[in-house]
Amino acid sequence: MTKAPASTEEPPTDAPGIGDTFPDLTVETSMGERSLPDEYEGEWLVLFSHPGDFTPVCTSEFVAFEQRREEFEALNAELLGLSVDRVHSHITWTDWIEENLDVDIQFPIVADDQGAVAQRLGMLHPGAGTATVRTVFVIDPEGTVRLRLTYPMEIGRNIDEILRSIRALQKSDADGVAAPADWPNNDVFGDRVLLSPPGTEADAAARKAAAVDDDELNYYDWWFVTRDR
């Protein structure tokens, strides 16, 4: 794939970022109209864009997402693709994938043939016309953007990392903790999680005292404490 030329063009300043409410959008997909994010209320949504149908890296990604779809569903997460191709292109492409690679794509793909959705979400590749970058939005059940990843056109996404990120976000939400690097397989801490630093001296002293009798806590310093997951 040809490398996109360098550009100083900036993405739209109103493109949603981490912590923002995902904008209300009505989109046409290969499986009918969808209202975002309302139609996915109560679920996690993984919205990912690709530069174009009938391209090698994108094809490999769609196969990979479909092969892991049930793992996303087990996390209450739904998949939704997007590119600036038309609906008939999406349908013909997924038919090609099933016929030639024996993989049936069972999640919808947004047909953003006018580029309005990609423009609104800051998904257009600078210097590459209407081609969408490999962007991933992870949106929580309340419609808040919790993660945004952007890959260059030349590199396919790592599905393991997207799944790991959702698991880590859900763990953080459930228990009020943070996940260390490479969680849950950190070389030093394994699957242990991190407690947020205390906000006052009194809280710091209380945490240190609690660690003496709590076998689940590993106290390194007042600001660095791990806990069994």
φ/ψ of 124, rounded to 5, equals -75, 140
Going by their DSSP bridges, the two strands 134-139 and 109-111 should be labelled as unpaired
Alpha carbon distance 111, 33 (integer Å): 10
CA angle 189, 193, 195 (to 5 degrees): 120
Token output for 134: 């490999």
Nearest Cα to 57, choosing from 125, 122, 133, 127? 133
Residue 138 backbone zone (phi > 0: left; psi -120 to 50: alpha; other: beta)? beta
ω before 23 within 30° of 0 (cis)? no
Burial class (CB in 10 A: 0-12, 13-18, 19+), 145: buried
Just list the catalytic residues: 58
Among the listed residues 129, 175, 172, 128, the one whose alpha carbon sits nearest the alpha carbon of residue 154:
128
